[in-house]
């Protein structure tokens, strides 16, 4: 029987190839592959705190802060101090970011379609279930990372 390839290595390969694909498509708009995932989260509801965003995207606060600062410098987001709690910054999308949404969504849809070429609907559903379980399992272990992801 053939030895299975390392799941971690395969996930890492897909991640690197995705980052390369996204970078090549969005470089001309001034968005890096690491920032696009923050924008995609904000497209589903902005005005969230940086802490909430870090938690939802499973990144540490420093990584989130760096990404938001880059997006802010590029004119895609604004950090607004929360009126009720001045320690909290809420992230607002700008018109520039909203204008880019259909482009980013199309890139994501096309890439997902390419990745799933040759998969049946049942295989797609199973893959999604398996990946969700991997994330759940990894999230449980994440607590021992000392805030590093």
Average pLDDT value over all residues in the chain? 91
Res. 3 pLDDT band, cuts 50 70 90? low
Give me Rg for the CA atoms of the chain.
Answer: 17
128 assigned to some structural domain = no
Split into its structural domains, the chain has a count of 1
Starting at the edge strand found earlier in the chain, the sheet holding 77-81 runs 48-49, 89-93, 77-81
For helices 95-115 and 33-43, the axis angle rounded to 10 degrees is: 110
Pairing verdict, β 77-81 and 48-49: unpaired
Tell me, what's the pLDDT at 149? 53
- CB-neighbour burial class of residue 77 (10 A; exposed 0-12, middle 13-18, buried 19+): buried
Kindly state whether residue 77 falls inside one of the protein's structural domains: yes
Name the more confident of 139 and 24.
Answer: 24
pTM to 2 decimals? 0.84
* Domain containing residue 108: CATH number: 1.10.10.10
| 18 within domain boundaries | no
Which carries the bigger pLDDT value, residue 143 or residue 45? 45
Contact 65, 50 (CB under 8 A): yes
Please count the other Cβ atoms lying within 10 Å of the Cβ belonging to residue 111.
15
Q: For residues 76 and 55, is the Cβ–Cβ distance under 8 A?
A: no
* Of 4-8, 29-33, 67-71, 99-103, the least confident: 4-8
The boundaries of the domain holding residue 46 are 32-115
Say if 126 falls within a structural domain. Answer: no
117: left (phi over 0), alpha (psi -120 to 50) or beta: beta
Does residue 13 lie within any of the structural domains? no
Q: Is 42 exposed, middle or buried (0-12, 13-18, 19+ CB in 10 A)?
A: buried
Q: Is 48 helix (H, G, I), strand (E, B) or coil?
A: strand
């Amino acid at each position: 029987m053939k030895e299975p390839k390392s799941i971690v290595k395969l996930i890492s390969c897909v991640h690197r190839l995705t980052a390369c694909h996204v970078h090549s498509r969005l470089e001309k708009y001034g968005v890096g592959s690491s920032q696009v995932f923050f924008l995609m989260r904000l497209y589903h509801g902005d005005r969230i705190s940086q802490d909430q965003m870090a938690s939802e995207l499973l990144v540490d606060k420093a990584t989130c802060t760096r990404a938001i600062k880059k997006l802010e410098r590029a004119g895609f987001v604004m950090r607004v101090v929360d009126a009720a709690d001045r320690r909290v910054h809420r992230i607002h999308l700008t018109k520039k970011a909203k204008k880019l949404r259909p482009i980013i969504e199309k890139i994501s849809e096309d890439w997902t379609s390419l990745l799933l070429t040759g998969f049946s609907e049942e295989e797609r559903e199973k893959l999604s279930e398996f990946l969700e379980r991997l994330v759940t399992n990894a999230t449980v272990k994440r607590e021992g990372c000392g805030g590093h992801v």
